[in-house]
A and B are shown apart, each in its own frame.
Chain A
Amino acid sequence: MNSKQLWIVTLLGLFLVGMASAATQQQSYVQVMLSVKSTFELSVDRNIVDFKSMNPGEVKMDMPDNEGIKVNVKSNNGRPWYLKISDQFELSNGEDVIPNNDFLWSGYASKAATGVWHGKGDDSFSLTPALAYAAGVNEYNNIPNGTDTYFKFGVKVPVKQNSGIYRSIIAFTLTE
């Protein structure tokens, strides 16, 4: 065996030793899929606000109590959401109406809330939903507890208002 052959044999030997010490690997794969359901919920803790008996010209604010009605919003959609308020019709007793200019809402967001409260104090109701609260970024997904906001209401009975029982329906609207 000449020196050239010796080199070839040595290199081949090293190659085989390397192969012997190298681990062989096989891999197989399993695909996994799932879908997490959407939560987009709005709830109120009370359904009736009763101003009870009032005199013409009388004003009642901060009803039904000092805390107000709690409105809770839950979303896990990861997108901005907006809470709006309106009434479906003005305070009415048949043909008699207390105009929305005299029907007011106010409120506040809970201490834990991080969004923006858009109420200015005592806002008049409108038939089209008005923005009350816009979620903060970390409320785009706020489950499981959600975000609490509180609403209070007031009425100014016009001095020449006809007597009767006046009703309206307040609507909270949640949009993205």
Chain B
Amino acid sequence: MMKKLVFFTLILSSQIAFSAISLTISENGFIDFGSMDPGGSEYTGGVYDYKKSTTVTFSVTAGTPFTFGVKANEFMGPASLPLESMSWQLTYAGGNMSVSPWYRHLYQEGVSYEPNIVKPTGYFSSNEQYIYDSSVHGFPATDSGAYQYQFLWHINIPNNQQAGNYMTTIMFTLTQ
């Protein structure tokens, strides 16, 4: 009976280890586009500036498929503001892995990419869009080191947008 108990304890431990993934935003987790004119167009901070990038770091368990996606809530404000007005641009992808997923994808597999699977840039919607899908583009077999992605944000205000304050929440989701 003791042997069985040890056996099941080991299995349970492996399952707990299996679920050890992490996702954190380490830089620029608050975006303020400031005051904008209707019809205006702005990058985060008003300019295309890498220093304004939001840094997202995540780690996964080696050998297991995972997805990394993004979506946003509808804007809250005095009137409707389409989510598609806001877009992301992936400015960097790398980290502790020997080859970063985006780098490998872009340079080792050629410049053509599946825009619905890996999206270096895209317009937001309330549905999750995968920025990286390991089942399509592979995953580290032995290296579970951290992935680091950096994003720059852009918004186009419709030229008939009602005045007022608007806010939303961008959600990154790591699933394994």
User: Which residues of A line the B interface, CB within 8 A?
Assistant: 5, 9, 12, 16, 19-20, 23-39, 76-78, 141, 143-144
Contact = CB atoms under 8 A, between A and B. Distances in A.
Interface string B79-108: 100000010000000000000000000000
B157 A30 contact: no
B26 to A, nearest CB: 10
Given A16-B15, A25-B175, A78-B78, A36 B167 contact: no
Contact of A34 (B22, B34, B58, B173): B34
B56 to A, nearest CB: 7
Interface stretch (B4-12, B115-123, B134-142): B4-12
12 contacts: A16-B11, A26-B173, A28-B24, A30-B172, A32-B86, A32-B169, A36-B163, A36-B165, A36-B166, A77-B162, A77-B163, A144-B160
Interface residues of B, number: 53
B168 interface: yes
Contact of B36 (A26, A34, A78): A34
A144 B175 CA distance: 43
5 shortest interchain CB distances as A-B pairs:
A34-B33, A26-B23, A38-B163, A30-B170, A24-B19
Contacts of A141: 79, 160, 162
Given A25-B173, A34-B34, A20 B15 contact: yes
Chain B at the A interface: mostly helix, strand, loop or mixed?
strand
Given A32-B168, A36-B157, A24 B32 contact: no
Contact of B160 (A27, A38, A76): A76
B144 to A, nearest CB: 13
B29 interface: yes
Given A29-B170, A30-B31, A35 B36 contact: yes
Interface of B: 1, 4, 8, 11-12, 15, 18-19, 21-25, 28-39, 54, 56, 58, 72, 78-79, 86, 153, 155, 157, 159-176
Contacts of B174: 25-27
A20 B61 CA distance: 13
B29 A76 contact: no
Q: Most B CB atoms within 10 A — which of A32, A34, A38, A77?
A: A34
B159 A36 contact: no
A5 B2 CA distance: 13
A37 B161 CA distance: 9
Contacts of B21: 24, 26
B36 A36 contact: yes
Contact of A78 (B34, B86, B164): B164
